[in-house]
Amino acid sequence: MHRELRKFLAGVALAAAAFAAPQPLAKLHADKGVTCADCHGKGKVRVDDNETAPNLACVRCHGDLKAMAKGAADPLGPHASHLGATSCTICHRGHEASRSYCLSCHDFEMKMPGGSDAAWKPQAMSTRRDKRVDRADVLVVGSGAAGMVAAITAHDAGARVIVLEKQPLTGGNSMLAEGGMNAAGTRAQARKGIKDSVELMKEDTLKGGKYLAEPSLVEILARNSSASVDYMEKLGADLSDVGRLGGASVSRAHRPTGGLPVGAHLVDVLRRNAAERKLDVRVNSRVVKLLEGKDGAIQGVEVSGLHRGTYRILAKSVILAAGGFSANPERVARYQPSLKGMASSNQPGATGDGLDLGEAKGGRLRDMEQIQIHPSVAKGSRILITEAVRGNGAILVNRQGVRFFNEIGTRDAVSQAILHQEGKSAFLVFDESVRRSLKQIDGYFHLKLVKEGATPEALAQALGIPGAALKATLDTYNAAVDARQDPQFKRPDMPRALREAKFYAIEVNPGVHYTMGGLAVDEATRVLAKDGKAIPGFFAAGEVTGGVHGANRLGGNSISQTITFGRIAGATAAAFAKP
């Protein structure tokens, strides 16, 4: 029967459009004579929250995602996306119409067998209650970079670890990070002759955050940044390329060779390391409550699993790494009414659940009104255009075809400058040399976000802006590059002139990107109560915490924060869990 299923699926790949009406995969399989037992085996069907068995059945017949992508006409299709090695059942569902997870962020047309064009939404959790109790030394809530690094670190320190993720895939917002990982005094910087220091990175971070950040936390971020790059490289990451992002005095954003997106790469590395260690990572598992002992210590969680239902896990230490709330428009508007209705660049799981969990157990929240908008989200979409495009030489022009600001200023300043332009948007203009310098730009072409022209005038015509003005703007900018001085806007770093055809542009506007506020923590990542004392057994790392960035986060500091404080949380929680 598997041979028949393969033939059926091969036909599906060629004629997906034939399945006009949304219907479950079980119905499509049954119509071709494929039985339940062919996928689920004989006897009682058991499906865990990771949906391991049905996913293995998919792979047996289809091949894995790499095999699916290899046979596809589009090399950048959904089976070869930035999401990496994910599960088939994220999109393809046996007993309801399939829905593309990609459409939770993107709005392009996507056909799939039996698929619905409705927006992706999480499946309803089981209402049953499982009285069995699981146990761990360290329990991690959230599977972005902070959570996975914490879990790996705790495991390597000898702890039994369980990781819980409410979404159907691991990675969180970390897999969307594009610009780089800030670090000072690294080997990669030394190879390129870049002079940097812990003190300079600390001052850039404090200044960029308007001196609202906690100096002791910023000190930890900067002082441990180089060691965190070394740590990720030992796990198998490529962080050999170094670029400059907004607010940095020198180039310190580390990323893969050729300027590929840093987040998807690091998430892939962390997934591989978790698998090699056989870590217990559970997706589709939403934490609904923290469990508290008589002495106020956090001693575990109550979980709502997709198939298992509600159950408890007892743990000696709990690490909260559940991310921020940029994808929760109601919460964003509550803390910053001026941002009501603004699109977010975040993945759909960034809703702030972790903040509720922590606050319910007495955790103190800080800096909650500090919400960052990123200056370059593609107009009419939720797609972030990495700051590295500007860092590698692109400029911003308005509808009059002229520059209006230092393109590599801090995110808050550049965003406000764009919002003061006609249409509250701008055009990110670059040439072939910039495109060649940064591989992730190719993805923007794939998403049809880029306009182009053989000359500046032709590009201007495609954009509907004055050609003579754009040509004059480029001439003036190129002269500034040649002179190594920008008299107009004092841009400190201009890595290349924009003279090489073709010429390109992406219309961008600001979007909600990052929440600097969160749970207050100390230098050991212990969550602090409202009285300033640490809550026993309770730790936090990543965007769910506040105090590291102040009023504004510098590009490249988020990934740096997740790795450094994830390492600290994992080590501290593992030590606390030891008898």
**pLDDT tens digit sequence for 422-447:** 999 999 999 999 999 999 999 899 88
CB within 8 A of 263, min separation 6: which ones?
145, 171, 173, 174, 175, 176, 177, 178, 559
pLDDT at 2: 46
Average pLDDT, the chain: 91
Listed residue (91, 90, 69, 125) closest to 22, CA to CA: 91
The SS3 assignment for 528 reads strand
Closest CA to 188 of 244, 224, 136, 240: 240
Closest CA to 507 of 404, 383, 392, 361: 383
pLDDT surpasses 60 at 366: yes
Angle formed at CA 112 by CA 110 and CA 115, multiple of 5 degrees = 100
Q: Which of 390, 411, 526, 567 is catalytic?
A: 411
Q: Are 542 and 561 in contact (CB under 8 A)?
A: yes
Asked if the model's pLDDT at residue 74 lies above 60, the reply is: yes
What mean pLDDT do residues 91-119 have? 72
CATH classification number, 372-512, choose in 3.90.700.10, 1.10.10.10, 3.40.50.720, 3.20.20.150: 3.90.700.10
Dihedral-angle region of residue 484 (phi above 0 means left; psi in -120 to 50 means alpha; beta otherwise):
left
Report the range of poorest mean pLDDT among 134-138, 228-232, 342-346, 456-460. 342-346
Tell me if residue 38 falls in helix, strand or coil: helix
Q: Would you say 174 and 352 are in contact if contact means Cβ atoms under 8 Å apart?
A: no
Tens digits of residue pLDDT in 537-579: 999 999 999 999 999 999 999 999 999 999 999 999 999 999 8
In this predicted structure, the answer to whether residue 64 has a pLDDT above a threshold of 60 is yes
Mean pLDDT of 483-504: 97
Q: How far is the first Cα of the chain from the last one, in angstroms, to the nearest whole number?
A: 54
Between residues 439 and 418, which one has the greater pLDDT?
A: 418
Instruction: Give yes or no for a contact between 520 and 366, defined as CB atoms under 8 angstroms apart.
Output: yes
In angstroms, the CA 51 to CA 72 distance is: 25
pLDDT for 52 equals 87
The Cβ of residue 523 has, within 10 Å, a number of other Cβ atoms equal to: 13
> 544: how many CB neighbours lie within 10 A of its CB?
31
Contact 57, 76 (CB under 8 A): no
Give the pair of three-digit tokens for residue 93: 């569902």
Given a cut of 80, whether residue 98 has pLDDT beyond it is no
Q: Angle at CA 52, nearest 5°, toward 49 and 54? A: 105
Report how far residue 375's alpha carbon sits from residue 416's, in angstroms, rounded to the nearest whole number: 8
pTM of the model: 0.90
- How are the residues of the chain apportioned to helix, strand and coil, as percentages rounded to the nearest 5? 35, 20, 40
DSSP string, 104-145: GT--S----TTEE-SPP-PPPPP--EEEEEEEEEEEEE--SH
Q: Alpha-carbon distance 202 to 204, whole Å?
A: 6
* DSSP, res 175: G
Amino acid at 93: R
Q: Tell me the fold of 2-116.
A: Flavocytochrome C3; Chain A, domain 2 (1.10.1130)
Cβ neighbours around 488 below 10 Å, total: 15
- pLDDT, tens only, 383-405: 999 999 999 999 999 999 999 99
CA gap 287, 357 in Å, rounded: 8
Q: Residue 22 — pLDDT band, cuts 50, 70, 90?
A: low
Residues 6+ apart with CB under 8 A from 73: none
- In the prediction, which pLDDT does 1 show? 39
Give me the amino acid identity at 397.
V
Cα–Cα distances (Å) from 339 to 173, 330, 335, in that order, read 20, 10, 9
Q: How confident is the model at residue 67 (pLDDT cuts 50, 70, 90)?
A: confident
| CATH for 135-370+516-577, options being 3.40.50.720, 3.40.50.20, 3.50.50.60, 1.10.8.640 | 3.50.50.60
Q: What pLDDT, on the 0 to 100 scale, is given for residue 73?
A: 66
Determine the distance from the C-alpha atom of residue 489 to the mean position of all C-alpha atoms in its chain, rounded to a whole number: 31
pLDDT for residue 109: 67
Question: What is the structure's pLDDT at 25?
Answer: 78
Q: How far is residue 282's CA from residue 156's CA, in Å, rounded to a whole number?
A: 19
- Helix 557-577, helix 215-223: angle, nearest 10: 100
Which residues fall within 8 angstroms of residue 339, CB to CB, at 6 or more apart?
332, 333, 371, 373, 512
* pLDDT above 60: residue 121: yes
93: annotated active-site residue: no
* Nearest C-alpha neighbor of 187 from the set 146, 225, 145: 225
pLDDT one-digit tens code per residue, 505-541: 999 999 999 999 999 999 999 999 999 999 999 999 9
Residues belonging to the chain: 579
Domain boundaries, the chain: 2-116, 135-370+516-577, 372-512
**Nearest residue to 329 via CA among 313, 345, 310:** 345
